[in-house]
Amino acid sequence: MKGKKILLGITGGIAAYKIAFLIRLLKKEEAEVKCIMTSASCDFISPLTIATLSENPVFIDFWNHKDGVWTNHVDLGLWPDLFLIAPLTANTLAKLANGYCDNLLTATYLSAKCPVFIAPAMDLDMYIHPTTVQNITTLVSYGVNVFPAEDGFLASGLLGKGRMTEPEDLVLRLSEFFQVKNELKGQKFLVTAGPTYEHIDPVRFIGNHSTGKMGYAIVEELIKRGAEVILVSGPTNIKLNHPSLKTVKITTADEMLLEVKKYWSDCTFGVFSAAVADYKPEVVEEQKIKKKEEEIVLKLVKNPDVLGWAGKNKTTKQFLVGFALETNDAIQNATRKIEAKNLDLIILNSLENEGAGFGYDTNRVTLISKQNQVVEFPLKSKKELAKDIVKILSLQK
Ligand code: CTP
């Protein structure tokens, strides 16, 4: 992290005492550190300690009461390569999520243009309160990176989630962040994610349990590595905003195909992770079906194969990745799909393991290439898996 400019925002939680260690570690890594403290944080750790360790004046107020000098929060926001707010209390979190700027730290956050990281720390009931969860989700949707609170003993005497990520881990993750190169800069990815819903009538549909987590994790990782992404997404609860991301929301497979047809020829990579419904009702009733009959028969017809279309319309310069979910003869079936859909790589999902598949945060996959190379990954978080997958993709440019 030599020469990296790191702005640390410190808010008023007991974990503020650990920031002294964090600054020491950052300085050891030869980073340049400046700190903004909220007035509440000064009750937990002395500004003198922070100033001494960071070797820079500490910023607390908009203006210095002694000499009347104004601290320019805009300049401060533009200075760093990275802004880390640690510990982040529930109170400041709520302010950040709602655009308040009633102190130097929150105003600087609004002015900052660099990547922002937060390390929340609070008591466990505060941490799991829906308001806190929503506020964190909001910040994530604005592109803020979160070091989730960890399990352990809390200052209140309770045991649970709420501890700030340890300084050593924070430094490790930040140095990892700086090491990730923009190796996918200039590459344009078309990603499909989430389920499709096929209308039966104005209020009913046929759908599936896909949450879109795997596809969205891949999108996040692609963006981190500098790629430009067009995401064609079925209905999900995940929100992701980034200047390099264009999200197109669709509902049905037909709509997905329409959007893919618009963008595919412009892209260098396709990653088709959506759980597209294979069949749709032949007729979509205009009015809600009333329950008159004892039984009704719903005739289903095949949906277009979106990935199959992209494979048929692929140039030699494009690299296409599909997903497969097989319950038997997995490798043979997945390999057959590579040929049938003209893919370069297929990612085979396993439902056999506890913790893998729809709705879980973890997954277990096997990658099979067109050249028949097979790479098996152990059960890991979808985010970690996304890293592995994107690393492999970045070798294919
Ligand atoms: N796919 C698609 N459009 C469809 C169906 C699937 O784009 N109408 C894509 C998925 O996004 C995924 C891959 O194709 O990348 C899955 O292949 P598919 O042959 O549909 O797998 P299964 O649904 O498992 O098919 P089968 O029932 O033939 O095993």
Token pair recorded at residue 250 = 């669709």
pTM equals 0.66
The mean-pLDDT minimum among 39-53, 122-136, 289-303, 372-386 falls in: 372-386
Task: Determine the average pLDDT of the residues in 194-198.
Answer: 98
What CATH architecture applies to the domain 188-394?
3-Layer(aba) Sandwich (3.40)
Provide the annotated active-site residues.
Answer: 208
In the chain, CATH 3.40.50.1950 covers 5-180
CA–CA separation, 34 vs 77, rounded Å? 11
CA–CA separation, 229 vs 244, rounded Å? 6
Token pair recorded at residue 37 = 């403290």
pLDDT band at 384 (very low <50, low <70, confident <90, very high): confident
Listed residue (271, 266, 245, 246) closest to 193, CA to CA:
271
CA–CA separation, 98 vs 132, rounded Å? 12
**Closest atom of ligand 1 relative to the 337 alpha carbon:** 19
In the chain, CATH 3.40.50.10300 covers 188-394
CA–CA separation, 282 vs 221, rounded Å? 38
Q: Which of 276, 319, 368 to mutate to test the pocket of ligand 1 (most atoms within 8 A of CB)?
A: 276
Q: What was the pLDDT predicted at 72?
A: 82
Q: What was the pLDDT predicted at 353?
A: 62
Share of residues in the chain with pLDDT > 90 (%):
73
Q: What was the pLDDT predicted at 355?
A: 63
Residue 200's CB is within 10 A of a number of other CB atoms, namely 18
**Residues shown for the chain:** 397
The mean-pLDDT minimum among 90-94, 201-205, 230-234, 241-245 falls in: 241-245
CA 107 to chain centre: 25
Q: How far is the CA of 270 from the centre of ligand 1 (A)?
A: 14
Share of residues in the chain with pLDDT > 70 (%):
98
Q: What was the pLDDT predicted at 359?
A: 65
Q: What was the pLDDT predicted at 352?
A: 65
Side chain identity at 2, as an amino acid letter?
A: K
Q: Superfamily assignment of 5-180 in CATH?
A: Flavin prenyltransferase-like (3.40.50.1950)
Token pair recorded at residue 218 = 């891949």
The mean-pLDDT minimum among 37-51, 275-289, 344-358 falls in: 344-358
Comparison of pLDDT for 175 and 85, the residue scoring more: 85
Side chain identity at 242, as an amino acid letter?
A: H
Question: What is the per-residue pLDDT across 54-63, written as a single tens digit (0 to 9) for each?
Answer: 999 999 988 8
Q: What was the pLDDT predicted at 354?
A: 63
Pocket of ligand 1 (CB under 6 A): 192, 253, 272, 274, 276, 278, 303, 305-307, 322-325, 337
Find out whether 190 and 267 touch, Cβ atoms under 8 Å.
Answer: yes
